[in-house]
Amino acid sequence: RVAYVNGQYVPHSHAAVHVEDRGYQFSDGVYEVCEVWRGQIVDMTAHLDRLDRSLSELQIASPMSRAALVQVMKEVISLNRVKNGLIYMQVSRGVAPRDHYFPPAGTLPSVVMTAKSVPAGKMDKVAEQGVGVITVEENRWDRVDIKTVGLLPNVLAKQKAKEAGAREAWFVDKNGLITEGGSTNAWIILKNGTLVTRPATHGILKGITRAGVLKLAEMKGFSVEERGFSLEEAKSAQEAFLTSASGLVMPVVKINETILGDGRPGPIVQDLRKSFHEASELIKLE
Ligand code: PLP
């Protein structure tokens, strides 16, 4: 495997950043994960737009032109022979002697990128069974709309889920409403077929897959309510699911100890999963 690190393509096993990289010392950086599907980058423009927004919210300089970034994406995919898989890219505020204040103007942001293959059908197998979620108290900062590498609460929540035999943890805010998962957006489907997901304010990451499902739902004529929902409402929902670039539309069949419906992925979520890419921008790799 090969990774991109600050202008160079290096063996993945040797790919490293400096010990005084601010991403490493302060989580002072942002990232994106994009899906590669059948040799195409899914929703690339939306991911790069969100990267620009995350950088600008943190006043980190744009590390390179978009055309150059796209070139690196294509190179990393091709060098790793990825047909189906994921691209990871991270931009930090750069390397400077440790000091909380921003480093001197002219400090170059660090950029790293990797790509890995995920066997086609691997996530489909998970989706066939559906997954469980647990709920945890929302304990993240109030700007989780910025996709920063500061993911410690997410790491702890997801580990707790894993230890409980679940796949995801849903954060519950102080009003008793679910915000999102540790690495996914959260959705429920009511008995009348309406899709419900929390509005994209500062309290959740505005998922690209979430936007894709909103578009798909509109194409299919499903009604959607963008509003908060409680654990109680979720437990009595007909279906539920998670969205993310790595898992796409992932059916939820269990919330804490409550089994949803008959404990199997329902028809609406299966339909959304099957037709997800119909609503995506697909950029071919030459
Ligand atoms: N919410 C959080 C906290 C995430 O980390 C992610 C993805 O990593 C998502 C939601 C889903 O976003 P996307 O659909 O853009 O992958």
Which of 32, 89, 139, 183 best tests ligand 1's pocket when mutated (most atoms within 8 Å of CB)?
183
Identify which of 245, 251, 246 has the alpha carbon closest to the alpha carbon of residue 269.
251
Active site residues: 147
Q: Report the separation in Å between the CA atom of 210 and the middle of ligand 1, taken as the mean of its atom positions.
A: 9
pLDDT, residue 120, reads 85
Which domains are present in the chain?
Answer: 2-118 (3.30.470.10), 123-280 (3.20.10.10)
Residue written as tokens 């702890």? 156
Sheet-wide strand order for 110-117: 8-11, 2-5, 110-117, 85-92, 29-37, 40-42, 282-284
Q: What atom of ligand 1 comes closest to residue 144's alpha carbon? A: 3
pLDDT, residue 264, reads 98
Cite the DSSP H helix spans in the chain: 22-26, 44-57, 66-79, 122-129, 152-163, 208-220, 231-235, 267-274
Indicate which residue's Cα is closest to atom 7 of ligand 1: 183
Indicate which residue's Cα is closest to atom 10 of ligand 1: 184
pLDDT, residue 108, reads 98
> Are 195 and 222 within 8 A, CB to CB?
yes
Ranges of residues in the chain with a pLDDT under 70 are none
Which of 149, 171, 184, 198 best tests ligand 1's pocket when mutated (most atoms within 8 Å of CB)?
184
Whole-angstrom distance, CA of residue 251 vs CA of residue 264: 8
Q: Which residues line ligand 1 (CB under 6 A)?
A: 33, 154, 180, 183-185, 205, 207-210, 243-245
Q: Report the separation in Å between the CA atom of 254 and the middle of ligand 1, taken as the mean of its atom positions.
A: 20
Tens-place pLDDT, residues 229-263: 999 999 999 999 999 999 999 999 999 999 999 99
Which of 133, 205, 280 best tests ligand 1's pocket when mutated (most atoms within 8 Å of CB)?
205
Tens-place pLDDT, residues 11-52: 999 999 999 999 999 999 999 999 999 999 999 999 999 999
Cite the DSSP H helix spans in 152-284: 152-163, 208-220, 231-235, 267-274
pLDDT, residue 171, reads 98
Bridge partners (DSSP) of residue 56 are none
Whole-angstrom distance, CA of residue 204 vs CA of residue 178: 10
